[in-house]
Amino acid sequence: MDVLGLPRLTMHLRAMRVFMAVSRHGSTVRASQAIHLSQPAVARAIIELEKACGLALFTRAARGMAATSVGASLAMRVETVFAHLDRGAQEAIAAVPAEARRPAAAGRFSAVVAPAGLRALYAIAAAGSESAAAAMLGVTQPAIHAALQGLEQSLGARLFYRLASGTRLTPAGEALLRRVKLSMAEIRAIESDIAAWQGKVRGRIVLGVLPLSVSFFLPLGIEALISRHPDIEVRIVDGTYESLVQQLSNADVDAIVGALRDDAPAQEIRQFPLFDDDLVVVAREGHPCLRHPSLTLEALLRWEWVMPLSGTPAERVLEQVFRAEGLDLPTPRLRASSPALTLAFVLQTGRLALASRADVGASHHAGQLRIAPVALPSSRRRIGIATRSIGELSQGLSLLLQACQAAAPAGIRPPPSS
């Protein structure tokens, strides 16, 4: 990857276009006619891509060229790369008022866009000015300016605001950048697949992690993965479901780990369930509520709580179970999203809190925690991994899923209820 984190195969975008044409048409001659390029140029592009991949992508015969098994797999991913670029052009133009659009060959955007233009787009989004982007890439400011102008001309749409304070993306530019990020994620998956075909496993996985029900299996799964495959890098970010879905959609994260959603759009998000978990009320050892005869939700209102953040699924569960009993929620004097900090408050202050049964069992404080014997109907949730629907899982992500599937069942050891 380069300074922007773009995969190295991005520089072979033209060769990938030619590869796609040969895959479709079965020979360099027919491909050259279809894409209006000379047959020797097509042949050179295929050799260039095979050299970059370190693998044979076609078998050659007198009657034409047939994709190898590797080439056929790669062709499906390359199709997805250019589908994202085509959609990016369409969505960028749709974000521009009709009266502001300029004539251009937007339908051919994916066929003509150059790697330099994509790198300039990334750099401007990251750096905020042409001069800073040029310094980041080690090129001149005029080179950046020309690359950005080329992008705008190819789409017939304004992609950037040029202000005294710097260069910012317009809504059209943001729409294009999102799809370019998705295409780059697919090229990274291609590189991961190539490594696997060569008997290596490498790559980078960025995981978005939700607060509850992950601490007891995800560390085990990640540790198993990187112990077996030390060339895989895993990065973890946390956030709310809504923010992580946005990052997944923008290819800023590769997967979300945590509670799955019944309303997740299947055309955008693919969900892999791992196990079911429920939410419980947790208290520290010796808390008065644990000695309360016939403990009820109403009785729990006598004590202070660490409440979930507003609008989260955990808060909605609490609201549902308390409202069903005709009760108000506990007073939200203190809210927290971090499970570790929530349990620390429970242990150190005697507050009650809502927690994942599995997380409580996995906590190193499990001997000091008790689950209050009060039912929370409808708190059961399916825990798993969510990815983008478009495209196949990368080799690294597929191996992580397998590692988490192996880790999840062994990790549930909830502490006893009192």
Confirm whether 1 is domain-assigned.
no
Same domain assignment for residues 156 and 305: no
Same domain assignment for residues 345 and 316: yes
Same domain assignment for residues 255 and 290: no
The DSSP 8-state label assigned to residue 411 in this structure reads G
What rounded mean pLDDT belongs to the chain?
88
Same domain assignment for residues 235 and 110: no
Name the residue among 415, 408, 293, 277 with its Cα closest to residue 347: 415
Quick one: pLDDT band at residue 338, thresholds 50, 70, 90? confident
- Which single residue is written with the structure tokens 């047959």? 39
Same domain assignment for residues 119 and 161: yes
State the amino acid at position 38 in one-letter form.
Answer: S
Same domain assignment for residues 30 and 116: yes
Confirm whether 366 is domain-assigned.
yes
What six digits make up the tokens of 176? 């294009």
Same domain assignment for residues 220 and 358: no
Q: How far apart are CA 366 and CA 349, in angstroms?
A: 16
Stronger pLDDT, 358 or 322, i.e. the higher one: 322
Confirm whether 195 is domain-assigned.
no
Q: Specify the pLDDT at position 356.
A: 86
Quick one: pLDDT band at residue 63, thresholds 50, 70, 90? confident
Same domain assignment for residues 271 and 288: no
Same domain assignment for residues 88 and 18: yes
**pLDDT tens for each residue of 94-125:** 888 876 667 665 567 888 888 999 999 999 99
Same domain assignment for residues 53 and 108: yes
Name the packing angle between helices 13-25 and 28-35 (round to 10°). Answer: 120
Same domain assignment for residues 158 and 79: yes
Q: Specify the pLDDT at position 265.
A: 84
Q: How far apart are CA 17 and CA 79, in angstroms?
A: 9
Over range 317-325, report the average pLDDT.
90
**Domain end marker among 178, 211, 244:** 178
Name the residue among 405, 382, 381, 383 with its Cα closest to residue 393: 405
328: exposed, middle or buried (Cβ count in 10 Å: 0-12, 13-18, 19+): exposed
Q: Specify the pLDDT at position 414.
A: 42
Confirm whether 28 is domain-assigned.
yes
Confirm whether 90 is domain-assigned.
yes
> Number of structural domains, the chain?
3
Checking if the pLDDT of 255 tops 60, the result is yes
Enumerate the β-bridge partners of residue 369: 284
CATH number of the domain residue 208 falls in: 3.40.190.10
Checking if the pLDDT of 413 tops 50, the result is no
Full residue range of the structural domain in which residue 273 is found = 202-277+382-411
Confirm whether 418 is domain-assigned.
no
Percentage of the chain lying above the pLDDT 90 cut: 57
Same domain assignment for residues 132 and 90: yes
Q: How far apart are CA 136 and CA 267, in angstroms?
A: 36
Percentage of the chain lying above the pLDDT 70 cut: 93
Q: Specify the pLDDT at position 411.
A: 43
Q: Specify the pLDDT at position 366.
A: 60
Q: Give the largest Cα separation in the chain, rounded.
A: 86
**pLDDT tens for each residue of 120-156:** 999 999 898 899 999 998 899 999 999 999 888 888 8
Checking if the pLDDT of 189 tops 70, the result is yes
Quick one: pLDDT band at residue 277, thresholds 50, 70, 90? confident
Confirm whether 391 is domain-assigned.
yes
Q: Specify the pLDDT at position 392.
A: 83
Of 159-168, 278-287, 295-304, 327-336, the one with minimum mean pLDDT is: 159-168
Q: How far apart are CA 74 and CA 409, in angstroms?
A: 34
Checking if the pLDDT of 363 tops 70, the result is no
Confirm whether 417 is domain-assigned.
no
Whether this prediction's pTM lies above 0.85 is answered by no
CATH number of the domain residue 73 falls in: 1.10.10.10
CB 39 within 8 A of CB 52: no
